[in-house]
A and B are shown apart, each in its own frame.
Chain A
Amino acid sequence: MAEMTATQLSAPAHDDHGHMSAEEHNENMKLGMWLYLASEIVIFSMMIVGYVLFRINEPDVVELAHSKLGVGLVTANTFVLLASSFFMVMGLRAMQQGNRQGMLRWIGATALGGAVFLAGQYIEYSELAHLGITLGYDIESQWQTFGMRFYAPTFFHGAHVFVGVLWALEVMRRGAKGRYDQNPIGIEMFGLYWHFVDVVWIMLFTLIYLV
């Protein structure tokens, strides 16, 4: 009896034996990326909460910072980053329509946007250093611990933008070789990441510069 079951009801073999189908692969990539972003959210929220608590406890220092921090540069920077997110979407769409050159142009624009953002952040940091806002604690300084509360989240975000720019360049390199012609999932992954970095910045910008 058992012998019969073994022979009669064995499983049919899949055609793509030993490999995942592209669809399965894409599903895995997306879920994995979301989980990764979830863990990133945790780290960012820790730093954001750290800043919010400081804001509540030391309103004077934050007032002072607001009066000294020019919001012009950083607003421009925010628009650059937002625009780069839009370029990103356009790049993915171009690839989905089979337009490889278009994709390369749009992703290139995205990388450029990220680079401009980083340059802006560098200029801003220099200005702040000039004002005496340092990362380390200085007992003499009027800024108290504003430096570390400010630099920690913004620098951590900047590092993410930097990684994003490198990633965009890698996407362009692979895209130029035709890697995404059949399956643009790689671009989509980068897109998820880039939008995440963008959303985090909007939160930081609102919390640190606006309210």
Chain B
Amino acid sequence: MATIAVPLGGGQSRQEIEAVRRPALSEYLRWSVDHKIIGVQYGVTSLLFFIIGGALAMGIRLELWTPELDFMVSGAAYNSLFTMHGTIMIFLFIIPMWAAYGNFVVPLQLGAKDMAFPWLNAFAFWLIPPAGVVMLLGYFVSPAEAGWTSYPPLSTLFSGDGQTLWALGAHLLGLSSILGSINFIVTILNMRPPEMTIWRMPLLCWAVLATSIIAVMATPFLAGALTLLLLDRMTGTTFFDASGGGDVLLWQNIFWFYSHPAVYIMVLPGMGVLSEVLSIHSRKPVFGYRMVGLSSMAIAIVGFTVWAHHMFTSLQPELRIPFMITTMIIAVPTGIKMFSWLGTIWGGKIRFTSAMLFALGFMSMFVIGGITGVMLAALPFDIHVHDTYFVVSHFHFVLFGGSVFAIYAALYHWFPKITGRMMDETLGRIHFVFTYLGFLITFFPMHIVGMLGMPRRVAVYDPAFTDFNRLISLAAFVLGFSTFIVLYNIARSYFHGPIAGANPWRALTLEWATTSPPPPTNFHDDPIPYEDPYGYGTKAATAYIEAIDMAFDRREAAPSGAD
């Protein structure tokens, strides 16, 4: 018989299992070093900022209902709208949201008691609320209006104090990201159980590892760039001021050297989530596990060589070609993931859970973002659509169709583990339909408007594009509405959802081999991982899952030998 082991098979009594309770709400409002508490703190904070950022997006679409300036008082006010929308969604929603899942799930998947540095973990989280507040304070002086990219000299010589607050806030968020990532790397590399070699690690851990390596190497560039920006704004240096010996392209180079890898910081964990969800909900091993894991690393490395494609219209012409080539190359590891996922669900037994629907939605939307990504890499075509709605569409397909769909998939997938209760699947499916259609109709037409000649970041546009913009706005309002469905679902399920049990999805990774929610020390004994995190369809795997059920949920039915 194969070596099969489950955690908690021994020592823990029925009373102990039943004694596991959800932490009191007050636990979440104060300093805690428990990675599960911190994970939820990250998640709820990010969700709040998601709502703020989403409201700003609705404001953008309202303004664009007509080609003239009407809803906003001035072009500058409109500029602050999309500046804050972009900044909040990137720095205060997507990146911390992945820290939320990473925090909650990664130590559990590794069978660890906590992160490597619990105190540092809490510190990294508590940098975020003040940073968000500092950024939003800009609204009381003169909000940042230079876009989330903040190109000087617009962001230095031509903007108000809100820009300084913006830079300070972004600085704090960068620090938080670096500290959090160091913690993830050390946890993943050092805290695996002896049985779990790096090639037996769940793919979410691979993705978080790759993401964290990018964050540790790239975020300091953002910190450096912001430092120079702040010096220019506050002490009269001229790093970015051409009339004082500075160079405006210096900012663009440093900023994109961080911000292009940051795109992968935002999407790689989503890819990790996808590998988990697709495999578990189609009951089949991940196709080509090694290549999926390694392609995360390949994306992380190649991601550092492509930054200047964001500068195709400002870079010296002869430097543009190499960046076109590297940018196209990065499509290859991304394609490997896409095909591997298809191989994963192919021939499986697909369950259409809400998590699975969003994972499938990710695949069908992300592929569009990938295709337009290669189109944008093609230099002559990029010259035409650079800084237009085509680009807006492209990165929303990657960041909404990719990251946000994955965030939703992860929510439906891990909510039972986090709260002990299932989400409402019917509401989840309705949510999916509204999100999928709302998203597609919002962002697909943007490709066409961009190609026809509408630049991004304008409040006033050519009246010829009015019809397109109205369609987009209507769909965007539907998309905005869809968020309320999931918020309602979260609130309702938290209190009234069906009890989840330890392993509602019958999964093999270790986070399911403990109670939902897990006790403060996560596991009673040191858990032994199953030899293959995705080895569904074997007798041994079935036995492992059965044993988890037996240990936690059907213990009284087990034979007397159970203790």
Chain A residues packing against B (C-beta within 8 Å): 1-7, 9-14, 17-20, 24, 27-28, 31-32, 35-36, 38-40, 42-43, 46-47, 50, 135-137, 139, 144-145, 147-148, 152
Contact = CB atoms under 8 A, between A and B. Distances in A.
B: interface residue count bin: 35 or more
Contacts of B5: 5, 9-11
Nearest to B3: A9
B224 A7 contact: no
A137 B244 contact: yes
Given A1-B543, A145-B246, A35 B220 contact: no
A35 B245 contact: no
Contacts of B191: 24, 28
Nearest to B543: A2
Contact of A28 (B117, B228, B235): B117
A39 B220 contact: yes
A9 B236 contact: no
A148 B231 contact: yes
B106 interface: no
B547 interface: yes
Nearest to B554: A3
Nearest to B563: A7
Nearest to A58: B245
B190 A42 contact: no
Contact of B562 (A6, A38, A148): A6
28 contacts: A2-B542, A5-B5, A6-B547, A7-B9, A7-B562, A9-B5, A10-B528, A11-B6, A11-B7, A11-B9, A12-B525, A17-B525, A18-B113, A18-B521, A24-B191, A32-B117, A32-B186, A35-B182, A35-B216, A36-B178, A39-B219, A42-B221, A46-B254, A50-B239, A135-B235, A136-B238, A145-B238, A145-B246
A23 to B, nearest CB: 11
Contacts of A35: 181-182, 185-186, 216
Interface of B: 1, 3-11, 113, 116-117, 120, 178, 181-183, 185-186, 189-191, 216-217, 219-221, 223-224, 227-228, 231, 235-239, 241, 244-246, 250, 254, 521, 524-528, 542-544, 546-547, 550-551, 558-559, 561-563
B362 to A, nearest CB: 30
A-B pairs with lowest CB-CB distance, top 6: A10-B9, A136-B236, A2-B546, A6-B547, A42-B220, A137-B244
Given A6-B9, A32-B117, A38 B217 contact: yes
B254 to A, nearest CB: 7
